[in-house]
């Protein structure tokens, strides 16, 4: 079994056997959850962390991450050419007010991604490569209700031994639909940043404050825990100048990355009836 598949399955087994069942007030759904789950995947050694226990829609997380790098906040400007996953969080003006890429590149009055690249270009030993999505002026803590607040709320990037590592901090993660999507997307970002900085992708770490499975997904958790197919290591081969092409909203970049991953992807069967809980 691929490394990420094994890690993911082990977490699902823990949640199934040790998880705390409670009803979430906001959604009205019961969840089974654990606090403080964390895992790491060495991309160079273990391969790209694309879940193969079940089929994952690759184009969704690839197009979304390119849109994030672009810094957009209007899905119609790029993202909706590939997926409509942000439609539920788009206001009547066609804007996602908490769009991750906009937060990274414009919202705080500075371009955090450009600053990160500049910092690590000048000082690869820096331990200050922090990018923040969460805005304490408006997110959470009983503030104004929004359709969405960031789940992955900050990530750190460092270079050790010529390898770029990324640590993604997530306040809340839907283990069935959210985790495979977020891990694929942020691992892709890690690879793009490594290419931009001329180093190798290293360790991807994912830390979740509240790791939960919704009651409507219990059947999927049971199915995934029981699977044990063997799947091969997946290696991502990024097109040249991926960061620059993302900044230019190059739709061909999405297609090329997807084709590379799909050519190696041999997942288990899809699981029907999986709908996102808003």
Catalytic residues: 151
- 200: its two tokens: 């190798």
Residue 68, pLDDT score: 98
What sections of the chain are H helices per DSSP?
3-18, 43-46, 58-70, 100-102, 112-122, 178-197, 218-226, 242-247, 251-262
- Distance from C-alpha of 39 to C-alpha of 60, rounded to nearest angstrom: 23
Residues whose CB falls within 8 Å of the CB of residue 241, separated by 6 or more in sequence, listed in order: none
How does pLDDT run across 215-224, given as a tens digit for each residue? 999 999 999 9
- Asked if residues 54 and 267 have their Cβ atoms less than 8 Å apart, the reply is yes
Q: Where are the beta strands (DSSP E) in the chain?
A: 20-23, 30-42, 130-132, 152-160, 163-170, 173-174, 200-214
What φ, ψ does residue 239 adopt, rounded to 5°? -65, 155
**What CATH number does the domain located at 3-262 have?**
3.30.572.10
Residue 142, pLDDT score: 75
Residue 148, pLDDT score: 86
- Asked if residues 50 and 234 have their Cβ atoms less than 8 Å apart, the reply is yes
Residue 31, pLDDT score: 98
How does pLDDT run across 117-157, given as a tens digit for each residue? 999 999 999 999 999 999 999 998 877 777 789 999 999 99
Decide: pTM greater than 0.85.
yes
- Asked if residues 127 and 158 have their Cβ atoms less than 8 Å apart, the reply is yes
Tens-digit pLDDT profile for the chain (278 aa)?
A: 899 999 999 999 999 999 999 999 999 999 999 999 999 999 999 999 999 999 999 999 999 999 999 999 999 999 999 999 999 999 989 999 899 999 999 999 999 999 999 999 999 999 999 999 999 999 988 777 777 899 999 999 999 999 999 999 999 999 999 999 999 999 999 999 999 999 999 999 999 999 999 999 999 999 999 998 777 899 999 999 999 999 999 999 999 999 999 999 999 999 988 998 98
């Amino acid at each position: 079994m691929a490394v990420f598949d094994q890690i993911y399955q082990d977490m699902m087994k823990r949640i199934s056997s040790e998880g705390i069942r409670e009803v979430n007030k906001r959604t009205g759904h019961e969840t089974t959850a654990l606090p403080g789950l964390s895992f790491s995947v060495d991309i160079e050694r273990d391969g790209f962390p694309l879940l193969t226990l079940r089929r994952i829609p690759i184009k969704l997380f690839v197009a979304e991450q390119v849109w994030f790098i672009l810094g957009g906040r209007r899905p119609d400007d790029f993202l909706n050419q590939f997926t409509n996953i942000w439609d539920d969080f788009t206001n009547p003006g066609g804007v996602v007010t908490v769009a991750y890429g906009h937060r990274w590149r414009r919202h705080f009055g500075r371009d955090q991604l450009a600053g990160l690249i500049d910092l690590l270009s000048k000082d690869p030993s820096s331990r200050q490569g922090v990018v923040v999505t969460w805005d304490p002026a408006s997110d959470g803590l009983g503030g104004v209700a929004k359709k969405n607040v960031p789940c992955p709320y900050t990530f750190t990037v460092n270079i050790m031994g010529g390898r770029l590592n990324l640590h993604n901090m997530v306040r809340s993660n839907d283990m069935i639909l959210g985790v495979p999507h977020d891990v694929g997307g942020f691992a892709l970002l890690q690879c793009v940043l490594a290419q931009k900085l001329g180093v190798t992708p290293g360790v991807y770490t994912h830390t979740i404050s509240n790791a939960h499975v919704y009651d409507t997904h219990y059947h999927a958790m049971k199915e995934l825990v029981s699977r044990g197919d063997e799947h091969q290591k997946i290696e991502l081969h990024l097109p040249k100048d991926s960061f620059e092409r993302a900044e230019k909203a190059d739709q061909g970049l999405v297609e090329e990355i997807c084709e590379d991953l799909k050519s190696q992807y041999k997942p288990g069967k899809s699981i029907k009836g999986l709908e996102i809980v808003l």
